[in-house]
Amino acid sequence: MKVILTQDIKSVGKKGQILDASDGYARNYLLPRKLAVVADNANLNELKTKQDANKYKRDMTMANAKELAEKMKQFELTFKIKAGENGKTFGSVTAKDVADALNEKYYVEVDKKKIGLTDAIKTLGTYMIDIKLFEGITGKLKVNVIAE
């Protein structure tokens, strides 16, 4: 019996997958627990519609991420931190600081985990930071750290 899985089932398949299950397994286990539906024309059309909608949504998100990556090349953030006479700083610039400043200045919301800072910036200077916008798409952001 052909069924369409409605949930991920370990060692059976993933959600949305069309599966050829034995009649007993499908009627006695999958269907009563609503883990699958029978693969008739109506359900197959619904599955195809959902897959097309997901693909369109993913393509639009990817296009927006590429556009933002291009815009981000012109973005520049400046942070002022206290520094001593010998260049030693009293404080640092973290990924959270960069995310907050990016949202405040350019109205771009980015999760701090997507910002490519392994450690906080603790020295004065200019840095190019990678920001992961989508799978395989990263934007470069120029960050200046100057003395207050």
**Block means of pLDDT (10 residues each) for the chain, length 148 residues?**
96 94 96 96 96 96 95 94 84 94 94 92 92 94 92
One domain for residues 49 and 106: no
One domain for residues 57 and 74: no
| pLDDT score recorded for residue 59 | 96
In angstroms, how far is CA 148 from the centroid of its own chain? Answer: 35
Cα 140 to Cα 94: distance, rounded to the nearest angstrom: 16
One domain for residues 59 and 73: no
Among the candidates 64, 85, 108, a domain finishes at 64
Phi and psi for 115 in degrees, rounded to 5?
A: -90, 130
Among the candidates 16, 39, 64, a domain finishes at 64
One domain for residues 56 and 80: no
Tokens of 103: 């949202």
| pLDDT score recorded for residue 86 | 76
| pLDDT score recorded for residue 88 | 79
AA identity, residue 93 = V
| pLDDT score recorded for residue 73 | 92
DSSP codes joined into one string, 9-41 = BTTTB-TT-EEE--HHHIIIIITTTTSEEE--H
Tokens of 2: 């052909």
Cα 61 to Cα 66: distance, rounded to the nearest angstrom: 9
Q: What is the CATH number of the domain that holds 60?
A: 3.40.5.10
| pLDDT score recorded for residue 85 | 80
Domain of 93 in residue numbering reads as 68-147
One domain for residues 35 and 60: yes
Among the candidates 42, 64, 86, a domain finishes at 64
